[in-house]
């Protein structure tokens, strides 16, 4: 559904732009060529009629799923008027050429805005649909968190009977329903992070652990209580993530979030290209060494690290599945530069990262990836001494941590004990399940 919506948004925007261009060209023809009708003017107008026919067919395709009857009719009226204007021009009938040319322009006059209004109406409705779904999920999560707090309190008080077990099972079922609702929203909007589902999944797992302790022949409230509290923490984290996600969706220009993800990747690719160029400029001066050179390398490393952080945020938002691996590569490049190691291999890695960023954008649009990506291996060198072995990377058992760990900026406002609890929570989220 996400890709269908993104395609409709893109198609309507493209059709509006085409209609605007045709309107401009038709107005120019009526003002200039129609005054001096001849075979050249007729040929130019027939070209416009052919282009308008393509526009009309595009509107008709979009109209298979959208109410665009008026726009279709306007495009066809314009096409017919253009054909009449072309015929008049070929007969050197200036008056009829001007009249038909103006009729074609008048038919096109409202079309660009009509198509844009239809697109804006759709994106607004889709955006609100997602925000409403997130707000419902938030309200339900907050209610479940309160009930989970009651269960945790009951377990701390030693209440391990059937009533507590039933309450925990009901909350677990409700959490599953929220997970499904959030999953459906993620399938419609690119800015809905799949990591919300991961947090809900973790909450369900801890609820299950607590419930299973209560289902034993000798229910153990003391053992079940920590699981219930961890589930509560996960629900609270989910509520926080839902608030932030709803804000992001509400602030998006598109109704699918697709365009925002593409724009972020494009900006990052451009930034990486700039860093690669700067590194190439520094390479001839590496032999001179000195503190000034190290300072420039540290500045370049800082920019490379900032790009890595942007990619991590992109991954956390669920906007691009490849962002985690790209962030890891950007961080390794930053370490290389910070260690004062800049050579042709480093620049080649920067260039590959730039191309991978372009490919990530193409993968979102469905374009073919860059076929020139290198797949060669080489022996380790001293230049790679700051390279982190794959087995020691975060999330080495998969494509990266399932849930991004919070940054220091996000943790700095907490007490040491709170930071420990938050990090322990995220560690558990990212544990490999067997």
Instruction: Flag the least confident range among 51-60, 73-82, 308-317, 369-378.
Output: 369-378
Asked if residue 423 belongs to a domain, the reply is no
Q: Residue 379's pLDDT is what? A: 34
Residue 260 has pLDDT above 80, yes or no: no
Instruction: Give the model's confidence band at 175: pLDDT under 50 very low, under 70 low, under 90 confident, else very high.
Output: very high
Instruction: Give the model's confidence band at 339: pLDDT under 50 very low, under 70 low, under 90 confident, else very high.
Output: confident
Domain tally for the chain? 3
Q: In the numeric block, which tokens belong to residue 273?
A: 């290209």
What does the CA dihedral 247, 251, 255, 257 come to, rounded to 10 degrees?
-80
Evaluated on CA atoms 13, 14, 18, 24, the torsion sign reads positive
pTM: 0.58
C-alpha to C-alpha distance for 160 and 137, rounded to whole angstroms: 29
Domain finish residue from 81, 109, 137: 109
The answer on 38 and 148 residing in a single domain is: no
The answer on 141 and 24 residing in a single domain is: no
Q: Which helix (H) or strand (E) holds 312?
A: helix 291-316
- Residue with more model confidence, 347 or 364: 347
Contact by Cβ (8 Å): 316, 404 = yes
CATH number for the domain spanning 233: value is 1.20.120
Q: With CA atoms as reference, report the closest residue to 34 among 102, 80, 81, 120.
A: 102
The percentage of residues in the chain with a pLDDT greater than 70, rounded to a whole number, is 75
The answer on 267 and 365 residing in a single domain is: yes
Tens-place pLDDT, residues 46-91: 999 999 999 999 999 888 888 899 999 999 999 999 999 999 999 9
C-alpha to C-alpha distance for 100 and 87, rounded to whole angstroms: 10
The answer on 342 and 246 residing in a single domain is: no
Q: Residue 198's pLDDT is what? A: 81
The mean pLDDT of 396-412, rounded to a whole number, is 46
The answer on 215 and 131 residing in a single domain is: yes
Asked if residue 433 belongs to a domain, the reply is no
The mean pLDDT of 89-115, rounded to a whole number, is 94
Q: Residue 23's pLDDT is what? A: 94
The mean pLDDT of 174-186, rounded to a whole number, is 90
Q: Residue 66's pLDDT is what? A: 86
Tens-place pLDDT, residues 21-46: 999 999 999 999 999 999 999 999 99
Average pLDDT, the chain: 79
Instruction: Flag the least confident range among 149-163, 324-338, 359-373, 389-403.
Output: 389-403
The answer on 210 and 271 residing in a single domain is: no
Asked if residue 95 belongs to a domain, the reply is yes
Q: Residue 385's pLDDT is what? A: 34
Q: Residue 322's pLDDT is what? A: 61
Residue 185 has pLDDT above 70, yes or no: yes
Q: Residue 279's pLDDT is what? A: 82
Provide the H-helix boundaries in 160-257. 162-186, 195-214, 221-251
Q: Residue 3's pLDDT is what? A: 65
Residue 114 has pLDDT above 80, yes or no: yes
The answer on 227 and 322 residing in a single domain is: no
Residue 292: domain span: 258-387
Domain finish residue from 346, 372, 387: 387
The answer on 383 and 264 residing in a single domain is: yes
The answer on 237 and 137 residing in a single domain is: yes
Asked if residue 413 belongs to a domain, the reply is no
C-alpha to C-alpha distance for 367 and 166, rounded to whole angstroms: 51
The answer on 378 and 275 residing in a single domain is: yes
Asked if residue 90 belongs to a domain, the reply is yes
Provide the b/e sequence for 175-212 (b: ≥16 CB within 10 Å).
Answer: beebbebbeebbebbbbbbbbbbbbbbbbbbbbebbbe
Asked if residue 430 belongs to a domain, the reply is no
Asked if residue 315 belongs to a domain, the reply is yes
Contact by Cβ (8 Å): 306, 313 = no
The answer on 244 and 262 residing in a single domain is: no
What single string gives the DSSP state of each residue in 371-400? TT---------GGGTTPPPGGGSTTTTTTS
The answer on 375 and 264 residing in a single domain is: yes
Asked if residue 414 belongs to a domain, the reply is no
* Residue 400: alpha-carbon gap to chain centroid: 18
């Amino acid at each position: 559904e996400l890709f269908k919506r993104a395609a409709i948004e893109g198609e309507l925007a493209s059709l509006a732009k085409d209609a605007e261009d045709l309107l401009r060209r038709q107005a120019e023809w009526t003002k200039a060529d129609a005054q001096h009708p001849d075979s050249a003017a007729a040929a130019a107008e027939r070209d416009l009629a052919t282009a308008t026919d393509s526009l009309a067919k595009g509107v008709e395709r979009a109209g298979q799923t959208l109410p665009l009857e008026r726009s279709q009719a306007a495009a066809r009226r314009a096409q017919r008027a253009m054909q009449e204007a072309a015929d008049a021009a070929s007969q050197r009938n200036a008056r009829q050429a001007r009249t038909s040319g103006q009729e074609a322009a008048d038919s096109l006059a409202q079309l660009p805005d009509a198509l844009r209004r239809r697109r804006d109406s759709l994106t607004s409705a889709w955006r609100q649909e997602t925000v409403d779904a997130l707000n419902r999920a938030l309200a339900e999560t907050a209610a479940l968190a309160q009930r989970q707090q009651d269960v945790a309190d009951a377990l701390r008080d030693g209440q391990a009977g059937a009533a507590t077990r039933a309450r925990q099972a009901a909350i677990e079922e409700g959490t599953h329903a929220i997970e499904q609702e959030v999953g459906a929203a993620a399938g419609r909007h690119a800015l809905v992070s799949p990591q919300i589902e991961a947090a809900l999944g973790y909450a369900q797992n801890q609820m299950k652990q607590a419930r299973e302790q209560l289902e034993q022949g000798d229910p153990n409230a003391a053992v079940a209580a920590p699981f219930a509290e961890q589930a509560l923490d996960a629900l609270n984290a989910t509520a926080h993530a839902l608030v932030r996600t709803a804000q992001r969706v509400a602030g998006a220009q598109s109704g699918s979030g697709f365009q925002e993800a593409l724009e972020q990747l494009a900006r990052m690719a451009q930034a990486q290209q700039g860093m690669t160029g700067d590194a190439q400029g520094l390479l001839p001066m590496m032999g001179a060494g000195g503190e000034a050179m190290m300072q420039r390398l540290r500045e370049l490393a800082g920019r490379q690290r900032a790009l890595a952080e942007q990619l991590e945020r992109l991954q956390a938002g669920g906007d691009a599945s490849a962002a985690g691996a790209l962030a890891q590569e950007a961080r390794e490049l930053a370490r290389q530069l910070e260690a004062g190691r800049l050579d042709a291999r480093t620049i080649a890695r920067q260039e590959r990262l730039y191309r991978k960023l372009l490919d990530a954008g193409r993968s979102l649009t469905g374009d073919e990836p860059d076929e020139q990506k290198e797949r060669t291996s080489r022996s380790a060198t001293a230049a790679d001494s700051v390279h982190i072995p794959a087995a020691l990377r975060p999330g080495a058992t998969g494509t990266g941590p399932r849930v991004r760990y919070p940054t220091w900026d996000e943790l700095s406002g907490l007490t040491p004990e709170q930071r420990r609890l938050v990090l322990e929570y995220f560690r558990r989220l990212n544990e490999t399940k067997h």
